[in-house]
């Protein structure tokens, strides 16, 4: 292999973002390594489905965010130039059910990986997947890199701690560590538990006569929704700068869950009010009511901007789910 080929290591490569990022880095000529949980090798059909088309192109390593030893060994074997730490328990709602395991993987997992990188490849560039959930109960709108954090869930708390750990490794050890403060980003590869994909999957089922109803929680929550394929490009850009820094990545538009429903149902000629019911079981103990990102810094420094608009995103996801049902 040529000396100039860069090695990237991705945690969470089986997830939505990991799959798009792996595609992007392969297209740029990177040698891509990914960490997957051992169980993924036993259930390749489901657990590796998002990267099924890439498995011959990437090198997969079995490991877990709960195990410092496994992360240490993988970093030692791969000797990465860039680490993209995307692996996490990423479902906010579940973090209320099991905050302890969320903290274990999201906080300790991040700490383990940072420490392994510090000891083995301190010159390696490191991306931490921060989140707009860190803003939580927002103190200003739109939110920028300097907006105060007020997390409203164990997940949000875990990401604030991961962010603080990442900044501390940068400041204390001079490591090249960047955090992306990414607002919600979606795609046809989004997990079915998240509200956007839950809606588009139900729209397709309802259109085909396989379901009659969609039960949701808070329809008035406002989110700044972008396309995951656009957002992973920003992750890579951050690690190519001359100095490490943190960036808000968003679209700069916010929409309610209700608006998402309206658009998704109307795309197939249906009225959402005829199908959507509110079930309080989907309410959260504490809600994040409004998220809206200001990407001035990312636009000016990284030259990044989103390409896919809200309407296009909703249509892309509905069309995908309709096509998948017809297969």
Region for residue 303 given its phi and psi (left: phi exceeds 0; alpha: psi -120 to 50; beta: otherwise) = left
Least Cβ distance, residue 268 to ligand G4F (angstroms): 19
Least Cβ distance, residue 121 to ligand G4F (angstroms): 27
Clarify whether 155 is annotated catalytic.
Answer: yes
* Residue tagged active-site, from 19, 70, 105, 131: 131
Is 90 a binding residue for ligand NAP by CB under 6 A? The answer is yes
The entry of ligand G4F, ligand NAP, none near residue 34 (CB within 5 to 8 angstroms by kind) is none
Least Cβ distance, residue 314 to ligand G4F (angstroms): 13
Least Cβ distance, residue 132 to ligand G4F (angstroms): 4
Least Cβ distance, residue 258 to ligand NAP (angstroms): 19
Q: For the stretch 10-28, what's the b/e string if a residue is b when 16 or more beta carbons lie within 10 angstroms of its beta carbon?
A: bbbbbbbbbbbbbbbbeee
Considering only residues 191-210, where is the footprint of ligand NAP by CB under 6 A? 191
**Token pair for 143:** 């939110």
Output the CA angle 24-186-36, nearest 5 degrees.
55
Is 37 a binding residue for ligand NAP by CB under 6 A? The answer is yes
* Residue tagged active-site, from 30, 84, 155, 247: 155
How far does CA 68 lie from the centroid of its chain?
Answer: 22
Closest CA to 176 of 231, 117, 226: 117
Which of 131, 147, 166, 254 is in the footprint of ligand NAP by CB under 6 A?
A: 131
Query: How far are the Cα atoms of 33, 156, 279 from residue 135, in angstroms, in the given order?
Result: 32, 8, 26
Is 64 a binding residue for ligand NAP by CB under 6 A? The answer is yes
Clarify whether 166 is annotated catalytic.
Answer: no
Considering only residues 157-196, where is the footprint of ligand NAP by CB under 6 A? 182, 184-185, 191
**Contact residues for ligand G4F (CB under 6 A)?**
90, 92-93, 131-133, 183-184, 193-196, 198, 216-218, 221, 223, 257, 282, 284, 287-288, 291
Question: Contact region for ligand NAP (CB under 6 A) — 10-18, 197-205, 251-259, 319-327?
Answer: 10-18
For the chain, how are helix, strand and coil distributed in percent, rounded to 5? 45, 15, 35
Q: Do 177 and 166 contact (CB within 8 A), yes or no?
A: yes
Is 147 a binding residue for ligand NAP by CB under 6 A? The answer is no
Least Cβ distance, residue 192 to ligand G4F (angstroms): 9
Which helix (H) or strand (E) is 186 found in, with range?
Answer: strand 185-186
Is 105 a binding residue for ligand NAP by CB under 6 A? The answer is yes
**Alpha helices, DSSP H only, in 65-215?**
68-78, 92-97, 99-103, 109-120, 154-173, 195-207
The entry of ligand G4F, ligand NAP, none near residue 102 (CB within 5 to 8 angstroms by kind) is none
- Alpha-carbon dihedral of residues 47, 42, 155, 59, nearest 10 degrees? -70
Q: How many CB atoms lie within 10 A of CB 46?
A: 10
Question: Contact region for ligand NAP (CB under 6 A) — 9-17, 110-118, 261-269, 277-285?
Answer: 9-17
User: Cβ-count burial of 210 within 10 angstroms (0-12 exposed, 13-18 middle, 19+ buried)?
Assistant: exposed
Clarify whether 84 is annotated catalytic.
Answer: no
**How many residues line the site for ligand NAP (CB under 6 A)?**
25
What residues line the site for ligand NAP (CB under 6 A)?
A: 11-12, 14-18, 37, 40, 47, 64-66, 86-90, 105, 129, 131, 182, 184-185, 191
Residues serving a catalytic function are 131, 133, 155
């Amino acid at each position: 292999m040529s000396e100039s080929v860069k090695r990237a290591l991705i945690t969470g490569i089986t997830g939505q973002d990991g799959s798009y990022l792996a595609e992007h880095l392969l297209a740029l000529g990177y040698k891509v390594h990914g960490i997957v949980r051992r169980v993924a090798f036993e259930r390749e059909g489901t657990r590796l489905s998002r990267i099924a088309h890439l498995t011959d192109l990437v090198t997969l390593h079995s490991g877990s965010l709960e195990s410092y030893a496994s992360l240490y060994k993988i970093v030692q074997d791969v000797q990465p130039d860039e680490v993209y730490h995307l692996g996490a328990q990423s479902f906010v709602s579940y973090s209320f059910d099991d905050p302890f395991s969320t903290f274990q993987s999201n906080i300790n997992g991040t700490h383990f990986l940072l420490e392994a990188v510090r000891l083995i490849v301190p010159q390696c560039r490191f991306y931490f997947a921060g989140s707009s959930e860190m803003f939580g109960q927002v103190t200003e709108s739109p939110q920028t890199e300097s907006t105060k954090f007020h997390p409203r869930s164990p997940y949000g708390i875990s990401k604030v701690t991961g962010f603080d750990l990442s900044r501390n490794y940068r400041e204390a050890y001079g490591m090249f560590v960047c955090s992306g403060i990414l607002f919600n980003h979606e795609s046809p590869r989004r997990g079915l538990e998240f509200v956007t994909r839950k809606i588009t999957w139900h729209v397709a089922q309802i259109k085909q006569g396989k379901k009659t109803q969609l039960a949701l929680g808070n329809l008035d929550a406002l989110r700044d929704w972008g396309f995951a394929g656009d957002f992973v490009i920003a992750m890579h850009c951050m690690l190519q700068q001359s100095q490490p820094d943190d960036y808000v990545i968003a679209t700069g538009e916010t929409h309610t869950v209700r608006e998402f429903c309206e658009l998704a149902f109307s795309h197939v000629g249906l009225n959402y009010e005829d199908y959507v019911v509110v079930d309080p079981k989907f309410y959260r103990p504490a809600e994040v009511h409004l998220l809206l990102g200001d990407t001035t810094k990312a636009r000016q420094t990284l030259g990044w901007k989103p390409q896919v608009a809200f309407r296009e995103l909703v249509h892309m996801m509905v069309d995908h789910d309709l096509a998948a049902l017809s297969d």
